[in-house]
């Protein structure tokens, strides 16, 4: 059961424009979300996160919006740059068995291509 869904496998935008990456989730117990960026043949790197007590978190060109009633979040990148071309994963942590740590469940990812 895919609890975190990214329904757009790819997105192509022009340099300088806004990129909007979307993510939906089904588990209302999720209270924290992360976005990871991944280049080919490398591990994901953390980009930005948001807690469910907020509806927006901004870090430079990256802003994440959370709509809890719709169980939807989005990552906005503005302005987009060619170096932003990568796969972006949405993820939600939930407690391990025993509750001592968290494990991440990931969406399938969206391949962003920023054209010069």
Partner 1 sequence: ETGVTQTPRHLVMGMTNKKSLKCEQHLGHNAMYWYKQSAKKPLELMFVYSLEERVENNSVPSRFSPECPNSSHLFLHLHTLQPEDSALYLCASSQDREAFFGQGTRLTVV
Contacts with partner 1, residue ranges (CB under 8 A): 2, 4, 32, 34, 36, 41-46, 49, 89, 93, 96-98, 100-109
Distance of closest approach, residue 81 Cβ to partner 1, in angstroms: 22
CB 65 within 8 A of CB 20: no
Instruction: Report the residue number, 83 or 116, with the smaller CB distance to partner 1.
Output: 83
Nearer to partner 1, 71 or 79 (CB): 71
- Minimum gap (Å) between residue 49 Cβ and partner 1: 7
- What does the alpha-carbon distance between residue 72 and residue 22 come to, in Å, rounded to a whole number? 7
The distance of closest approach from Cβ of residue 93 to partner 1 in the complex, given in angstroms and rounded to an integer, is 4
Q: What is the DSSP letter of 83?
A: G
- Judged by beta carbon, residue 83 or residue 98, the one nearer partner 1 is 98
Radius of gyration of the chain (CA): 14
Residue 15 C-beta: closest distance to partner 1, Å? 27
Among candidate residues 95, 3, 84, the one with its CA nearest the CA of residue 48: 84
Task: State which residue, 2 or 81, has the beta carbon closest to partner 1.
Answer: 2
DSSP-based three-state secondary structure for 33: strand
Kindly report the CA angle at 28 between 10 and 101, in degrees rounded to 5? 90
């Amino acid at each position: 059961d895919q609890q975190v869904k990214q329904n757009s496998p790819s997105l192509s935008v022009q340099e300088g424009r806004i990129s909007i990456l979307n993510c939906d989730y089904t588990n209302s117990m999720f209270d924290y979300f992360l976005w990871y960026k991944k280049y080919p043949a490398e591990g994901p790197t953390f980009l930005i996160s948001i807690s469910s007590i907020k509806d927006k978190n901004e870090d430079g060109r990256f802003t994440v919006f959370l709509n809890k009633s719709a169980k939807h979040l989005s990552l906005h990148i503005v302005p987009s740059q060619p170096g932003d071309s990568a796969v972006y994963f949405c993820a939600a942590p939930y407690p391990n068995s025993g509750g001592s740590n968290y494990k991440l469940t990931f969406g399938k990812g969206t391949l962003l291509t920023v054209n010069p």
